[in-house]
């Protein structure tokens, strides 16, 4: 159902960020002063995240059509991406000639018809496969997965979401609701944390 096992429109790998991408200098952007010295560089600026999320919303509506949909948000890191994606989906619905009912839930399993799972990061894919297995027991008509990030990691089991915002190297990233021990959720950009930041905020 979900992932790349069935034939579906190919939205590719999303925006692919190569392993040798140096990122953006932190001095080019504003970010919370309490994180000064804790970050290596900006990997994905907030404006690019917003634009890519809008494009994913268009792709999702084109693929799913104008049918009612239940959006399942994987907490906690997925909430910011989910909220922004939902807003873009609502804007598309608002500006069309057909109403699309969109409801949001936070992974409480019950009976669903058409399901869109919204995730922040897919790494190995094991967590998402387990979640899909749980949801498939309820026999929804359709399950699709949208992930803001997919990490290129040798530990991957090969799972690919239906919709990918960005494919990134196997880096520890924070910001845009992605945290390190509950810190950095208030950072708008997606950044790479440095060793000083990891030590400062370790538990």
Q: How far apart are CA 65 and CA 44, in angstroms?
A: 30
pLDDT of residue 2: 54
* % of the chain at pLDDT higher than 70: 91
Query: Are the C-beta atoms of 163 and 60 separated by less than 8 Å?
Result: yes
Phi, psi of 51 (to 5 degrees): -65, -45
Q: Which residues on neighbouring strands pair with residue 116, listed in sequence order?
A: 71, 144
pLDDT of residue 70: 86
If we measure between CA atoms, which residue out of 137, 140, 138, 10 comes closest to residue 68? 140
For tokens 């496969």, the residue is 129
pLDDT of residue 141: 85
pTM beyond cutoff 0.85? no
pLDDT of residue 6: 47
pLDDT of residue 114: 85
Q: Is the pLDDT of residue 201 over 90?
A: yes
Query: pLDDT (tens digit, 9 = 90+) per residue, 102-146?
Result: 888 776 545 568 889 999 999 999 989 998 998 888 888 889 999
Q: Which residues on neighbouring strands pair with residue 151, listed in sequence order?
A: 168
Q: How far apart are CA 44 and CA 188, in angstroms?
A: 10
What confidence tier does 187 reach under pLDDT thresholds 50, 70, 90? very high
Sheet holding 39-44, edge to edge: 39-44, 190-193, 173-174
Q: Is the pLDDT of residue 164 over 70?
A: yes
What confidence tier does 28 reach under pLDDT thresholds 50, 70, 90? very high
* Mean residue pLDDT across the chain: 87
pLDDT of residue 39: 97
Q: Is the pLDDT of residue 182 over 80?
A: yes
Query: pLDDT (tens digit, 9 = 90+) per residue, 43-93?
Result: 999 999 999 999 999 999 888 877 888 888 887 778 899 999 999 998 988
In SS3 terms, the chain reads as: CCCCCCCCCCCCCCEECCCCCCCECHHHCCCCHHHCCCEEEEEECHHHHHHHHHHHHHHHHHHHCCCCEEEEECCCCCHHHHHHHHHHHHHHHHCCCCCCCEEEECCCCCCCCEEEEEEEEECCCHHHHHHHHHHHCCCCCEEEEEEEEEECCCCCCCCCCCEEEEEECCCCEEECCECECCECCCCCCEEEECHHHHHHCCC
Q: Which residues on neighbouring strands pair with residue 173, listed in sequence order?
A: 192
CB neighbours of residue 42 within 10 Å? 23
């Amino acid at each position: 159902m979900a992932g790349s096992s069935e034939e579906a429109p190919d939205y590719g790998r999303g925006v692919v960020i190569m392993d040798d991408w140096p990122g953006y200098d932190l001095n080019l952007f504003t970010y919370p002063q309490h994180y000064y010295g804790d970050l290596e560089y900006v990997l994905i600026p907030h404006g690019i995240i917003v634009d890519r999320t809008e494009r994913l919303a268009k792709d999702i509506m084109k693929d799913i059509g104008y049918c009612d949909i239940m959006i399942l948000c994987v907490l906690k890191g997925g909430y910011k991406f989910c909220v922004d994606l939902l807003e873009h989906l609502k804007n598309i619905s608002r500006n069309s000639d057909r109403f699309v009912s969109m409801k949001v839930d936070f992974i409480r399993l019950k009976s669903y018809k058409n399901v869109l799972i919204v995730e922040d990061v897919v790494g190995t894919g094991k967590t998402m496969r387990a979640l899909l297995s749980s949801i498939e027991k309820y026999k929804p008509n359709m399950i699709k997965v949208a992930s803001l990030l997919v990490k290129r990691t040798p530990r991957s089991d090969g799972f690919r979401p239906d919709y990918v915002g960005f494919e990134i190297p196997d880096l520890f990233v924070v910001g845009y609701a992605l945290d390190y021990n509950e810190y950095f959720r208030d950072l708008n950009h997606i950044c790479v944390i440095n060793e000083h930041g990891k030590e400062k905020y370790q538990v």
